[in-house]
Amino acid sequence: MRHSRSFRCVGSLPTVGFMVGCGGDTTEPEPLTLAPVSGNGQTAAQGQPVSDPLVVRVTEGGNGVAGRTVAWTVTAGAGSVSPTSSSTDAAGMASTTWALGATAGANGVEASTSGATGSPATFTATGLGPAPQQAAVSIADNSFDPASQRVASGGTVTWTWTGNNMHDVTFNSGPNSATQPTGTFSRDFPSAGSFNYLCTVHGSAMSGTIVVE
């Protein structure tokens, strides 16, 4: 006949060199991590907000941590953030908006949360000086360079053909250039706004924008 025995653990038993316990949990907690998600490396006119919010994510073992406080601090450029402190959502995300300082040049913000690896996370942006009265765009084969150009209200933009193919500069409303392989085309912009254009030979694959400030 087989007899069964039951044993009850009542404490740790001393052994040579180590202790054996019952019911103990030796799993170490996953590290808390702060990482930037989006919003770094933007540009905007001096004193103006950048277009995209700054976003970070707080995780633990790869999973988002909700309700974690993230502090946002301006470190360069004398701009401002709003809010200066935000809580992470269910996915571990927290964000703020950023207005650059009044002087052109480098701007910086740090995002931090206590006890997290990667804290503080750093964001940088560049404040652009006043838009020029004269701006230039190069028409290479199948591209405008730069694709987005700034000019002051009342200013002039000049396009110069540098490639070998036929191109034009066509806006939703004129004046527009002829379709040509060489030469230049200039247009005045009397009022502020964003003006999209393209080369009708190549369609939307070859397009650009003039931002008038």
Cα torsion 75, 78, 79, 83 to 10°: value is: 60
Confidence of residue 20 (pLDDT cuts 50, 70, 90): very low
Confidence of residue 10 (pLDDT cuts 50, 70, 90): very low
List the one residue out of 102, 94, 104, 106 whose CA is nearest residue 41: 106
Say if residue 50's pLDDT is above 70.
yes
Question: Model's pTM, two decimal places?
Answer: 0.67
Chain region(s) in the chain for CATH 2.60.40.420: 134-212
The conformational region for residue 118 under phi > 0 = left, psi -120 to 50 = alpha, else beta, is left
Share of the chain above pLDDT 90, in %: 84
Chain region(s) in the chain for CATH 2.60.40.10: 32-128
pLDDT of residue 3: 43
Structure tokens at 182: 């060489």
How far is the C-alpha of 168 from the C-alpha of 210, rounded, in Å?
A: 15
**Span 109-165, pLDDT tens digits:** 999 999 999 999 999 999 999 999 999 999 999 999 999 999 999 999 999 999 899
Say if residue 19's pLDDT is above 80.
no
**112 class by beta-carbon count within 10 Å (0-12 exposed, 13-18 middle, 19+ buried):** middle
**Span 164-179, pLDDT tens digits:** 999 999 999 989 999 9
Contacts of 92 (CB under 8 A, 6+ apart): 57, 58, 59, 63, 64, 65, 66, 68
The rounded Cα 201 to chain-centroid distance in angstroms is 33
The answer to whether domain 134-212 has CATH 2.60.40.420 is: yes
CA-CA distances (angstroms) from residue 53 to 23, 35, 76? 47, 15, 17
Fold adopted by 32-128 = Immunoglobulin-like (2.60.40)
Residue with tokens 């002829």: 178
Contact between 175 and 140 (Cβ < 8 Å)? no
Contact between 44 and 54 (Cβ < 8 Å)? no
Q: Higher pLDDT residue, 12 or 146?
A: 146
